[in-house]
Amino acid sequence: MNERKVMKQLIYAILGVAVIGSGIALSAGRQKNPVVPPAPARTESVSSPAIANNPPVQPAVAAPAMSASIQSVPADSGDSKPSVAVSATEASAKTVDPAIKQAIESLLSPQLSHEQRREILKQLIESGKLDQAISELEQRVAGDPNNAVYSTALGQAYLEKGKAMMQDDVAGGSMLIMQGMKSFDAALKLDPSNWEARYTRTLVMSHYPAELNKGQEVIDQFTQLINQQEAQTPQPQFAKTYVALGDQYQKLGQNDYALATWQAGAQLFPRDKELRKKLAQPAGQ
């Protein structure tokens, strides 16, 4: 186990170097210090360290329940699909397994949550169909390179396959994770407000070893995402950003910031199990 842990750290180091060398700036106004110190204790509320003294938005409204099963999530009608310009792509699309096409349409649906998308990708891995799905997504990206949703879905597929490969093929898994990060970069260049791409990319970066000094960038990116979230209608998955930002503060030994972040998230998402768990644990653990 220790050897595997060391190998994973090495892979994250390789990934970090690749991201550093990409030269893509995702945040125009990076902050070099902790965002905002925790607000003084109030009777019923704690301000988010990510947002400077803005009141929290209304409590989250539960999203419509959707099944993450490949078979049970209905595919879109197809009327709004972008046309693929390459004739070879059009020819190959006719031979794609209908179940894979349906899974891809589900992945592209804005109604699915982050965890539902991950579940679909895991089902594709278990059924041995993820490679075909990746091939189809690559063709869609090639046919419509300005579609941020395609690039995001492809990045998630690369990431899940890379993670599944890490145990048996560290080099191959790391290369796929790097490809996933590049796909997220491409998506964010096209659409900086893409929640899925920014959250997933930053979550991967949060696992880089401390030697890469990416901690502040992780804080900046999660903070930017929280700013974006608080200007939108709340979604249950937005609670994940508060959890992850608090975790990052805790990694850096800034336990007050971590606690204030989780408290701010719990005000907006009081039913979130992970936030409740964080607030129930002893300070500093």
pLDDT digits (tens, 9 = 90+) for 201-217: 999 999 988 888 899 99
Instruction: Verify that 56 and 67 share a domain, yes or no.
Output: no
- Residues sharing a CB contact under 8 Å with residue 253, sequence separation 6 or more, in sequence order: none
What is the residue range of 148's domain? 62-188
pLDDT digits (tens, 9 = 90+) for 229-249: 989 889 999 999 999 999 999
As a dihedral over the C-alpha atoms of residue 129, residue 132, residue 136, residue 141, rounded to 10 degrees, the angle is 100
Looking at 165, 188, 211, which one is the last position of a domain?
188
Whole-structure pTM value = 0.69
For CA atoms 210, 216, 221, 222, the dihedral sign is positive
Instruction: Verify that 37 and 74 share a domain, yes or no.
Output: no
Q: What are the Cα distances from residue 268, in Å, to 98, 183, 227, 247? A: 40, 31, 13, 18
User: Considering its fold, how many domains does the chain have in total?
Assistant: 2
Quote the percentage of the chain above a pLDDT of 70.
66
Instruction: Verify that 232 and 283 share a domain, yes or no.
Output: yes
pLDDT digits (tens, 9 = 90+) for 67-85: 334 443 333 444 444 433 4
pLDDT digits (tens, 9 = 90+) for 138-196: 999 999 999 999 999 999 999 999 999 988 899 999 999 999 999 999 999 999 999 99
Amino acid at 88: A
Residue 208 belongs to domain with CATH number: 1.25.40.10
Instruction: Verify that 81 and 153 share a domain, yes or no.
Output: yes
According to the model, what pLDDT value does residue 151 have? 97
pLDDT at 100 over 70: yes
pLDDT at 133 over 60: yes
Instruction: Verify that 104 and 182 share a domain, yes or no.
Output: yes
Q: What residue spans of 94-129 are helical by DSSP H?
A: 98-107, 114-126
